[in-house]
Amino acid sequence: MTDYDVIVVGGGHNGLVCSAYLAKSGRKVLVLEANDVPGGAASTREFSPGYSVSGCANWLYQLNPDVVKDLGLRLDYAARDLDTIGLSPDGKHLTISGDVVTSDHLSAKDKAAFGPFQAKMVKFARLLNTAFKRRPPKLVENNIHDRMTLLKLGIDMKLLGKEDMQELLRMALINMYDVMQETFDDELLKSVLALEGVMGSHMGPRSPNTVFGYIYRRLGEVYGFHGPAQVKGGMGVIGTALASAATASGVEVRTGARVASINLKADSAQGVTLTDGTTLTATTVVSNADPKTTFEKLVGFRNIEAGTTRRVSNIRMKGNAAKLHLALDALPDFTGLSGDQLGQRLVIAPSMKYLENAFNHAKYGEFSQAPAMEISIPTVNDPDLAPSGKHVLSATIQFAPYELKAGWNDNKKLFEQICIDVLARYAPDIRSLITVSELLTPADLEAQYNMYGGHWHHGEISLDQIMMMRPFPGATQYATPVDNLYLCGAGAHPGGGVMGLAGRNAAREIIQRGKTA
C-alpha cells in the first residue's frame, strides 16, 4: 500500500493543474513544493519591504481557457488587453493595441499591413493550438489517438487554404528579421515584433525559428488575450488560486517540502525522499521540475541508461533573460509618454540591429552592452504592490547568459548599472527615483525557482525541441524511460509560458493509461 496514488514534484502552475485533474479522477494526490508559497515561476516577490513585483513572468497572456473552466479558476485582473508601446529615445513611440498599430510617423503601408500580418499569425497559432491541446502524436508507433491528432492537424492544415499552408511551411522555419523586412518599413515596428520572436530564448532576430517563437506567443490571441493581462496582486496570485482549486479538488499541497530524490525500484518510480529525510511512496510520480533537474538531480544519472543520460544532457536550456526590479519614489517620466500609458507593456528594442547586437554578446558568454527590455510598471494598474504613492518597475532583460564567462558574482552590479543606464535614456529622471534595485540573473532565477539554467521555458522553444522531440526523443507523451515517472512541466509538450496545457495533457495521459492498464 503506497502513501499516495500520485506524488507531484513541484507546485508550479503546471504541477498544480496536473494535480487538480488527477484528484478529480479520484486519485489521492500530493503536491510537494520546495518554496514556501505555491506557484513556482508564477510568483509575486516582495523584493523590498512593501514593494512587490511578479518575480519571474510579468504578465499572463496565454492561460488556456479550458484549464480555467475545468478548475473553476477566478482571477482578478488589474488590467487586461494591455497595449505594447515600442519606445523611441526621442519620444516618437508606437503603440500596438490588438491588431492595430498607431504612431505619428508610420507609413500608411505599415499601418495597413499590420492587421493582416497579425491575423495570419493568429491563424497559424490556431493550428498550433490543435497540436498543443493534445499529447504530441507519435509518428511511427502511433495508436488511434495519435492518428486522430494527425488527421485533425492534416484537416486544419488543409483548411488554411493552399496559399496559407505553403506560407506556414516557409515561415515557421525562417527568422523574424527576414519576415519583418518583407512585411514592414518602420524599424521600430519591426524590432518590437522581432523581440517577441526571441523572448526567453537564445536567439536573435536573424536566427531561423524565431517566426515560430512569434507564432507561439500568438496563442494568447487564440485563448482570448488581446495583449498581456496583469493579475491583481501579481503573478503569485495564480499560484495561490491554482493551489486553492487543487485543494478544493482534494489535492494535498505541501509547501516548504523540497524533494531530494525520486526513488526507483527495478527501474520504476516508487516515491520520493525529501531533504528532511521523509520518504513518501506513490504508485505514480509526476515531475513538474524541468527534465534536467528531474533526471540529473532527482532520479540521478547513475540510475538510468547512458542513452537517456546523453539525451537529457543535450537538451538546450540555458536561460538568457534577467529580471530587473526597481522600487521607485514616484512614477518615472518617460519621454513622450503620458501617465496612463505607463501601465502598458513598454518595450526597448529600437532596431533589429540593436537586438541582434544584444544577442551577439550572449553567443560568447557576455551580457549585452545595450540590452533589450520588456518593462512593466505594475503599480499604475495595481497600486497595492507598493506603499501609497510609490511605484515598482519590473523589466525582463535580454540578453544575460546563464553561464557568464566573467562570472556573475563580480559582474552583476555592473550589468544592473548598464540596464539602468539604458532605462535612463528613455526615462531621464529614473535614477533619482530608485530607492531599491535588484537584478535576478538566470543563475538567480535557477536558485529561486529551481529551473535548470534559469530557463523559464524549461528548454529552448525551437523546432528541434518541440512536439515529439520535447523534452527529448524517447520521452514523448509525458511518459519517460523510467516506468511510472511522468513529466508535467514546461519541459514537456507544448512548452513554457503560463498556459497550463502541459499539466492538463499530462494528467489526461496518466488517466488514459490508468484505464487501459
**Would the CA dihedral through 379, 236, 409, 454 be positive or negative?**
negative
Half-sphere exposure of 302 (CA within 13 A, CB side): 2
Which DSSP symbol is given to 229?
Answer: B
What is the nearest approach in angstroms of another protein to the Cβ of residue 275? 32
Binding string to another protein for residues 184 to 223, with x set by CB under 8 A, is what? -------------------x--xxxx--------------
**Residue listed under C-alpha cell 537538451:** 315
Report the nearest approach of another protein to the CB of residue 318 (Å).
11
- Radius of gyration (Cα) for the chain, nearest Å? 22
String of contacts with another protein for each residue 103-132, x by CB under 8 A: ------------------------------
Which stretch in 78-86, 343-351, 412-420, 462-470 sits in contact with another protein by CB under 8 A? 462-470
Is residue 296 a contact residue for another protein (CB under 8 A)? no
Rounded CA gap, 265 and 260, in Å?
16
Assess 149 for contact with another protein (CB under 8 A).
no
CB of 492 to another protein, least distance (A): 14
From the list 58, 476, 484, 505, which residue makes contact with another protein (rule: CB under 8 A)?
476
- Pick one of 473, 515, 516, 517: the residue that binds another protein (CB under 8 A): 473
Pairing mode of beta strands 252-254, 230-231:
unpaired
Element containing residue 165 per DSSP (H, E):
helix 162-171
x/- mask, another protein, residues 309-338, rule CB under 8 A, reads: -x---x-x----------------------
Among 344, 462, 480, 505, binds another protein (CB under 8 A): 462
Query: In angstroms, rounded to a whole number, what is the distance separating the alpha carbons of residues 397 and 376?
Result: 12
Pairing between strand 84-86 and 94-97?
A: antiparallel
Nearer to another protein, 73 or 171 (CB): 171
Residue 140 as a binder of another protein (CB under 8 A): the answer is yes
Please report how close the Cβ of residue 471 comes to another protein at its closest, in angstroms: 11
Cα–Cα nearest to 248, from 78, 77, 74:
74
Rule CB under 8 A: is residue 169 a binding residue for another protein?
yes
CB 5 within 8 A of CB 28: yes
Please give the Cα distance from 369 to 268 (Å, whole number): 48
DSSP assignment string, 51-114: EEEESS---B----HHHHHHHT----EEE-S--EEE--TTS--EEEETTEEE-TT--HHHHHHH
Helix (H, G, I), strand (E, B) or coil at 294: helix
Q: Using the minimum distance from each CB to another protein, give the nearer residue, 387 or 474.
A: 474
- Binding of residue 363 to another protein (CB under 8 A): yes
Does residue 468 interact with another protein by CB under 8 A? yes
231 within 8 A of 75, measured Cβ to Cβ: yes
Q: Which residue number, 320 or 381, has a Cβ lying nearer to another protein?
A: 320
Query: Please, what sign has the CA dihedral across residues 381, 383, 385, 386?
Result: positive
Instruction: Kindly tell me which residue out of 102, 107, 143, 166 binds another protein, with binding defined by CB under 8 A.
Output: 166
Q: Which stretch binds another protein (CB under 8 A): 65-73, 118-126, 160-168, 214-222?
A: 160-168
Q: Please, which residues have CB within 8 angstroms of residue 427's CB and are 6 or more apart in sequence?
A: 332, 333, 334, 335
Binding positions for another protein, rule: CB under 8 A: 138-141, 158, 162-163, 165-167, 169-174, 178, 182, 203, 206-209, 310, 314, 316, 356, 360, 363-364, 462-465, 468-469, 473-474, 476
